[in-house]
């Protein structure tokens, strides 16, 4: 269990990963365009990366609800170096559709409806959703990816980075995160000091296990994302499949 001191100050110590401007700590640079479903969520034309996301249909990107900001969001697809005007990039404005029951750490999922359909090609492709009855076993190694800082004092990375983390037993996650971890709608992972993993700014990015999308980057331990005593937490996509399908069929409220 988290010590009592930490529980008392848990809201100061927990960090939704989109609240800061950092990203994959450690890891390696991804092969350019090897993850064509990746989206960089930016504020208008500023090219300031705020969150990650995944293209799941030509007109929908899946991300975390806490990535919603009070400004127009631009979705950048087909990117590797987000600070360059790569010919492969598509910049499309989007409308927010956060989960109606999102609050703090619960129901941390959001769809972005693109104002025009993405053009699918070798740089931009969709990624499939998990099956409802698909189970993820503990200790399976999964991929995570994102843009941003590579360390606590580094500047955000211009290029997409990636690394791996292992699925943690949900009972252990519950023991550590207590009431902040809901095993029905969350997945958590362990990681090594060498490979490390996600951090603030990777929010909305993917957790991919056995080549299949399973989670959305949600939260970590604040400012110490590489402390392996605190598992990283992801929104469990399969729990929200009915809501996702309902929204994509045109039943969701656009914000």
The residues assigned a catalytic role are 66, 108, 203
Q: Is 175 left (phi over 0), alpha (psi -120 to 50) or beta?
A: alpha
Q: Is 139 left (phi over 0), alpha (psi -120 to 50) or beta?
A: left
Helix, strand, or coil here: 237? helix
Alpha-carbon gap, residue 109 to 141, rounded angstroms: 23
Q: Are 38 and 144 in contact (CB under 8 A)?
A: no
- Which residues lie below 8 Å from residue 106, measured CB to CB, with a gap of 6+? 182, 185
- Tokens describing residue 212: 């299949």
């Amino acid at each position: 269990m988290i010590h009592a001191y930490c529980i008392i100050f848990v809201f100061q110590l927990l960090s939704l990963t989109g609240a800061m401007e950092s990203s994959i700590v450690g890891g390696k640079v991804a092969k350019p365009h090897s993850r064509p479903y990746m989206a960089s969520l930016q504020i208008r034309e500023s090219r300031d990366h705020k969150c990650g996301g995944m293209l799941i249909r030509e007109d929908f990107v899946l991300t975390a609800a806490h990535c919603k900001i009070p400004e127009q969001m631009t979705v950048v697809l087909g990117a590797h170096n987000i600070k360059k005007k790569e010919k492969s990039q598509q910049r499309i404005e989007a409308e927010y559709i956060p989960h109606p029951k999102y609050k703090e750490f619960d129901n941390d999922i959001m769809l972005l409806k693109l104002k025009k359909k993405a053009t699918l090609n070798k740089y931009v492709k969709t990624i499939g959703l998990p099956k409802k009855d698909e189970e993820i076993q503990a200790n399976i190694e999964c991929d995570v990816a994102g843009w941003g800082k590579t360390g606590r004092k580094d500047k955000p990375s211009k290029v997409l980075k990636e690394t791996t983390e292992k699925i943690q037993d949900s009972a252990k996650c519950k023991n550590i995160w207590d009431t902040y971890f809901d095993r029905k709608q969350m997945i958590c992972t362990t990681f090594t000091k060498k490979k490390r993993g996600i951090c603030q700014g990777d929010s909305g990015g993917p957790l991919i296990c056995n080549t299949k999308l399973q989670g959305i980057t949600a939260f970590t331990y604040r400012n110490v994302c590489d402390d392996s005593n605190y598992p990283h937490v992801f929104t469990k996509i399969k729990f929200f499949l009915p809501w996702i399908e309902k929204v994509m069929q045109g039943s969701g409220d656009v914000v």
